[in-house]
């Protein structure tokens, strides 16, 4: 969350501003946490199970948008350079070979155990007026979108519905975009979501469920590399 407060601002105003921004984010995404808060909880919780920066490897799956780099950099600070499974809208396209590579790179402890931490997230903006998907990027006066790929998916299902696509086919000019939408449709069929009424906030939640399923599917189909 970025605010408009200068460095000389009254600390009380900063706290009030951040509380207001948090409320506007949680209005759309209940339970959302600020990134430092979230990662501190993750680090402490995983430390209880023996996961540390020097004995674990993270696999990070976030959208390609550079605005997700802030989160990725903070994960790298805790667990070292992560294996990167980024895709548009968080779609996992690296397959069993990609996941298989990622889960064969961690340090091996004396008992033979390897430790991996999967981070998989869609991303979403909420601007200071509370509008979802609205983001202002440095040096650009016009409003931009996040996640653009999920807005693309909203339009695709509103126009084209959620009928099943042929497995193993993609648009050669849009490999990831078409695979993302095909999987979004599958998830929406499972959830019985209505393509006519879906908005970007609901699509973000569909994407969240989808990429958890994708990651589970890939890891359960692991092949040695």
| Site of interaction with a copy of itself (CB under 8 A) | 54-55, 57, 64-70, 73, 76, 80-88, 93-98, 101-102, 104-109, 137-141, 144-145, 148-149, 152, 167-179, 221, 225
Tokens 């680090």: give the residue: 43
Q: How far is the CB of 65 from a copy of itself (least distance, A)?
A: 7
Nearer to a copy of itself, 22 or 104 (CB): 104
Shortest spacing between CB 61 and a copy of itself, in angstroms: 10
Q: How far is the CB of 36 from a copy of itself (least distance, A)?
A: 17
Nearest approach, Cβ of residue 213 and a copy of itself (Å) = 14
* Minimum separation from the CB atom of position 13 to a copy of itself (A): 27
In contact, 209 and 88? CB cutoff 8 Å? no
Nearer to a copy of itself, 114 or 128 (CB): 114
Q: Could you give the 3-state DSSP secondary structure of residue 207? A: helix
Tokens at 118, concatenated: 């999967």
Q: Is residue 63 within 8 Å of 87, Cβ to Cβ?
A: yes
Nearer to a copy of itself, 17 or 46 (CB): 46
- What is the nearest approach in angstroms of a copy of itself to the Cβ of residue 143? 12
Rank residues 84 and 213 by Cβ distance to a copy of itself and give the closer one: 84
Q: Which is nearer to a copy of itself, 41 or 105 (CB)?
A: 105
Rg (CA), the chain: 19
CA atoms within 13 A on the CB side of 120: 20
Distance CA 173, CA 184 (A): 19
Whichever of 48 and 70 has its CB closer to a copy of itself, that residue is 70
Q: Round to whole Å and give the CA distance between 45 and 144.
A: 35
The token pair that represents 27 in the structure block:
């209005």
Nearest residue to 108 via CA among 100, 116, 97: 116
State the minimum distance, in angstroms, from the CB of residue 5 to a copy of itself. Answer: 20
- Cβ-based neighbour number of residue 19 at 10 Å: 10
> Would you say 30 or 139 has its CB closer to a copy of itself?
139
The residue length of the chain stands at 225
Q: Which residues of 89-114 are buried (b: 16+ CB within 10 A; e: fewer)?
A: bbbbbbebebbbbbbeebeeeeeeee
């Amino acid at each position: 969350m970025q605010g408009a407060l200068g460095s000389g601002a009254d600390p009380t105003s900063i706290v009030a501003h951040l509380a207001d921004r948090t409320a506007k984010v949680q209005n759309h995404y209940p339970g959302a946490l600020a990134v430092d808060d979230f990662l501190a909880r993750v680090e402490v919780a995983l430390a209880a199970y023996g996961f540390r920066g020097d004995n674990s490897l993270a696999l990070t799956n976030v959208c390609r948008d550079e605005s997700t780099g802030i989160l990725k950099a903070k994960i790298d600070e805790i667990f070292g350079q992560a294996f990167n499974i980024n895709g548009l809208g968080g779609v996992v396209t690296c397959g069993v070979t990609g996941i298989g590579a990622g889960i064969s790179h961690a340090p091996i402890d004396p008992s033979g155990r390897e430790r991996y931490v999967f981070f998989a997230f869609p991303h979403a903006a909420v601007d200071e007026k509370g509008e979802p998907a609205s983001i202002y990027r440095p040096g650009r006066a016009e409003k931009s979108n996040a996640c653009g790929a999920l807005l693309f998916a909203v339009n695709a299902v509103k126009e084209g519905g959620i009928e099943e696509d042929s497995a193993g086919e993609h648009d050669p000019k849009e490999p990831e975009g078409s695979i993302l939408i095909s999987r979004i449709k599958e998830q929406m069929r499972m959830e019985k979501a209505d393509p006519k009424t879906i908005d970007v906030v609901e699509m973000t939640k569909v994407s969240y469920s989808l990429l958890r399923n994708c990651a589970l599917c890939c890891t359960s189909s692991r092949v040695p590399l």
